[in-house]
Amino acid sequence: MVPAGHQRHCVEPDHGASEERLDERRFLDLSRQLTRRFPRSVQVPLTPGCGLLVTDWLSDTEAEALMAHCLAALHWDQPQVRLFGREYPIPRRHAFVGDPDVTYRWSGLEQHPQVWTPELAEVRDRLAESGFTFNSLLANHYRNGADGMGWHADNERELGASPVVATISLGQPRRLSFRERHGAGRQALDLPSGSLLLTSGAVQHHWQHQVAKSRRLLDPRISLTFRYIHSIG
Ligand SMILES: O=C(O)CCC(=O)C(=O)O
Ligand SMILES: [Fe+2]
């Protein structure tokens, strides 16, 4: 599926002193630089935020090797979360990797990181070379179509005012849908193996996203979602 918004562009943030505008402008500058290196990249207007989909961030061989590495080297877990007064296992497996001092509170769980493997540190460093700096990574393993992730935004307090998220997809392409929080806007992106999706901070404030379950027989997918987690008191 061609991303909705194909051949449209993210809007230039208005001039002004607000922190959000400055962060959005920096995101747009960095994503333009990345587009020069990856000309097939597509901007995804998630107004007032912006997404950039780099479909060929990793080669097929690199993506396959990284997926095999993640499956073998990470400690995967399927924690229980409380929903409407009952405990349910999350419908996927996940693993949290990061710098030693980072903790992430997520759906009532306190996550302590696994150490960076050299392979994952290399991916993190490659993102940093493009100006996108992260200190942690939440990996999701969707074993088949019955695994998914419901509507949410990545806007926990420790992600700060401008939560830029980088998502690398490996394996089975899955659809990431977006819906506007206070409006009728909808977008959907099919994320191919080896792709990188970057989203600016404003996206998390104004949109929610999900990976819907599917009745189709689907192969496994891993998403690596890089984040910068600030320490809060
Ligand atoms: O798997 C994806 O592409 C989305 C994952 C996600 O939204 C998350 O980890 O917060
Ligand atoms: Fe998310």
Residue closest by Cα to atom 8 of ligand 1: 225
Please name the residue whose Cα sits nearest to atom 10 of ligand 1. 154
User: Going from the N-terminus, what domains does the chain have, and what CATH number goes with each?
Assistant: 58-227 (2.60.120.590)
Q: Provide the whole-model pTM.
A: 0.94
ipTM for the predicted complex: 0.99
- Ligand 2 center–CA 70 separation, angstroms: 19
State the pLDDT at residue 106.
77
8-25: pLDDT as tens digits:
789 888 766 588 888 999
pLDDT category, 6, cuts 50, 70, 90? very low
Report d(CA 41, CA 206) in Å as an integer: 23
Rounded Cα distance between 44 and 73, Å, is: 33
Nearest to 211 by CA among 200, 225, 201: 225
Helix 118-129 crosses helix 60-73 at what angle (to 10 degrees)?
130
Whole-number pLDDT of residue 18: 82
CA angle 114, 120, 126 (to 5 degrees): 135
Report which ligand 1 atom has the smallest distance to the Cα of 225: 9
3 state SS of 140:
strand
CA of residue 122 to ligand 2 center, whole Å: 22
pLDDT digits (tens, 9 = 90+) for 63-118: 999 999 999 999 999 999 888 889 999 999 999 999 999 998 877 788 889 999 99
Identify the CA nearest to 46 among candidates 207, 166, 190. Answer: 207
Q: Any idea of the CA torsion for 230, 122, 165, 217, to the nearest 10 degrees?
A: -130
- What pLDDT was estimated at residue 143? 98
Atom 9 (ligand 1) nearest CA:
225
User: For the segment 117-131, what is each residue's pLDDT rounded down to a tens digit?
Assistant: 999 999 999 999 999
How does 12-31 read in b/e, with b if 16+ C-beta sit within 10 Å?
Answer: ebeeeeeebbebbbbbbebb
pLDDT digits (tens, 9 = 90+) for 130-152: 999 999 999 999 999 999 999 99
**CB of 83 within 8 A of CB of 92?**
no
Q: Which atom of ligand 1 is nearest to the CA of 223?
A: 1
| Ligand 1 first shell, C-beta below 6 A | 138, 140, 149, 154, 167, 176, 191, 209, 211, 223, 225
Token pair belonging to 95: 């693993």
Report the residue among 136, 222, 225, 228 best suited for mutation to probe ligand 1: largest number of ligand atoms under 8 A from its CB: 225
Peptide bond into 113 cis (omega under 30): no
126 token code pair: 């490659």
